[in-house]
Chains A and B, each alone.
Chain A
Amino acid sequence: MTATDLVPAGFTPPVDAETVSVEDYRAAVQRWLDEHAAELAKPAEHSLEAEVAQLGKVRRALFDAGWMRYGWPVAAGGLGGPDVLRAVLNEEIAERDLTDGTNFSIVEVLAPTMVSYARPELAAEMLPLLLSGREQWCQGFSEPGSGSDLASLSTRATRRDDGSWVVNGQKVWTSLAQYAQRCVLLTRTAPGHAGITAFFVDMDSPGITVRPLRTMHGIDEFCEVFFDDVVIPADRMLGNEGDGWRLAMDLLPYERSTCFWHRITYLFTRLDMLLAEAAKQETEPEAATDAAIGAAYLALHTVRCRSRDTQRRLAAGAHLGPETSVDKILLSTADQKLFDTAREVLPGTIELTDAHWRTEYLYSRAATIYGGTAEIQRNIVARRMLDLGKE
């Protein structure tokens, strides 16, 4: 397969990836989304199955029209152009509430690193499957014994005589594993940080067992994943033996730029909803209501400004590092503050009457846990940004 085969013959990209301005790109995406609003609308049903199906439908339509390909390398089936085009697309999808609050941007967590560590042929084969909504991928990092201390992971990969690898162990909290065709998996091949190796694994490989876990918010999005003598071909290694830790760290810049921008936008839409519901209430709001709403808005606005700066730095070629823990802390704090405010401003709603607010409120409780806990982020800021030395 050559790079040009990846885009079907006769396909004319709607805009020129290399020359289009952010404003023109946004306007073109908006026009297209407006024209296709009816077919893309979210189904009324609110199950995880429906959500995953919706995710596939939206990605497929965006891919076929070309939008989902912008900002991805041509060699891997993209149309090229800067990363910021992806952030704009994520923002427009979130503004229109076409998918749920996090899953659309999972692409942004896994794909950039996969593309930069995989063999070019593997990236070219796989990325279009994800972008076009034909597949879901999952992230197999955390284990029962290794959460915050990710580098202690013990799922073992052993090389066989024919060069392939055998994996044994267990992953946990693996989001969407029950729907995923592939997994970006961290394994142990030797002691220490340099003994972690990443693979791109087919989830239908013999020996993989996926058991969905019940979650607190009722959307059972994560699973336990067991590996019993799972054979992985050598050419599915991401990078080289021992590159796994570096891969995990390289994931952060993308998770903390495009993906955060999606969540921030999504949270603004929830603040809008809260304002609409507050307006329906019979009693005149108290000063305390305005104070709480203002504080939630201030927190969201602050992380939006910070995230915008981070993406500008990324666009200017900066290497993103520990300073993105600041973005993470601001975002998880704003996320929880917003839903705490919803509970205050709409008394009784979350507890008694509204399943949507309830689910979202409960989900926000995880914001200080996933993607590195609030405490771990503060440890990083203290050590790396304030140079306070070791604990």
Chain B
Amino acid sequence: MDAEEQSLLAEALRGTMTETAAGTALDAALGDLGWADLLAEEPAVAVRLVFSLLGETGAHAPVLNDVVLAATGQPLGGTVALPYAGGRVVVWERKDAGSAPDEGGLLDGTLPLRVLGAGDDAEAAAVVTDPAALAAGRRALGWWLVGTGRAMLALARTHALDRVQFGRPIAGFQAVRHRLAETFVALEGAEAALAAAEDELASLLGKAAAGQAALDAARHCQQVLGGIGFTAEHALHRHIRRALVLDGLFGNTRELTREAGAHIRRLGRAPRIAHL
């Protein structure tokens, strides 16, 4: 798919994601847009566009399941038990959760996540362990996290230019500028790492870089937004909740970073992955 086709597709996806209710309705709308064929034919483009736009628009749909199913050659449309930080297992249901982020007993109550517990041993035993499926899931989550980070940066940037203190926009203060620059650099680095993520190790690193970038974005953007960013009314907290929850799926930044370290220590060498 050439660059022009990709940007047309991105616009169509963005439109759908902003106009359709998140969750099952968006799941169906993505289906109508040809999600299944796209994932089969152009998996890298499909995953990058769909997931980074879910992040940027703040929408959600249970399509992470499809990425995992496709990677293991199974039909799309179902659910899979997904690994979560701390050795937990969750299911991303294909049904709707609450509409407020603080509903439902989870950090991001808008997501239809079911945490498997004591009685769910059989279901939890089927948790994804296939390396190719883990890698595919991590790439998708990485793009989602980067998109979420971009959404936070856009909110903080606008606020910095609009908000006047001491007689000038706070965007004029170097401490504010450097926080936003830091966020931008982390997101750009994560994108480069994700674009180079083909094998398992590179996908793990890509998700770790994206998780780190999203967490950095949350910290810096929250600070730049001051009191308004702490209100339920402002959109920031939705993205922060989303980033924290996504970070935990398929291993959080801390776990993945440690795993990468242990891996290269056993190997005795640091693999060079991107080549000229």
Contact = CB atoms under 8 A, between A and B. Distances in A.
Interface stretch (B65-73, B85-93, B260-268): B260-268
Nearest to A389: B171
A278 B276 contact: no
B157 A386 contact: yes
Nearest to B270: A271
Contact of B273 (A22, A289, A301, A375): A301
Contacts, number: 148
Given A294-B260, A300-B270, A389-B172, A88 B265 contact: no
A378 B182 contact: yes
A284 to B, nearest CB: 11
Interface in A358-391: 375, 377-379, 381-383, 385-386, 388-391
A48 interface: no
Majority secondary structure, B binding face:
helix
Contact of A306 (B180, B181, B189, B261): B189
A305 B196 contact: yes
Interface of B: 157, 160-161, 169, 171-174, 177-178, 180-182, 184-185, 188-190, 192-193, 195-196, 202, 205, 208-209, 212, 254, 256-262, 264-265, 267-270, 272-276
Contacts of A38: none
Contacts of A308: 192, 196, 274-276
Given A271-B270, A298-B205, A382-B177, A290 B265 contact: yes
A290 B264 CA distance: 9
Given A305-B196, A381-B185, 15 more contacts: A268-B272, A272-B269, A275-B265, A275-B267, A276-B268, A295-B261, A297-B260, A298-B260, A302-B205, A302-B209, A305-B189, A308-B196, A326-B188, A378-B182, A391-B172
A278 B266 CA distance: 10
Contact of A388 (B160, B202, B257, B260): B160
A190 interface: no
A292 B184 contact: no
A382 B181 contact: yes
19 contacts: A84-B276, A278-B265, A293-B265, A297-B260, A298-B205, A301-B205, A302-B205, A304-B272, A305-B273, A305-B274, A306-B188, A308-B275, A326-B189, A330-B185, A379-B181, A381-B184, A388-B160, A388-B161, A389-B161
A329 interface: yes
Band of interface residues on A? 35 or more
B274 A292 contact: no
B187 to A, nearest CB: 10
Interface in A246-266: 261, 265
A329 B188 CA distance: 11
A383 B177 CA distance: 8
Contact of A290 (B169, B182, B195, B261): B261
B261 to A, nearest CB: 3
A272 B208 CA distance: 21
Given A297-B270, A300-B270, A326-B188, A285 B265 contact: yes
B157 A388 contact: yes
A94 to B, nearest CB: 11
Most buried by B among A84, A278, A295, A375: A295
A124 B261 CA distance: 48
Contacts of A84: 276
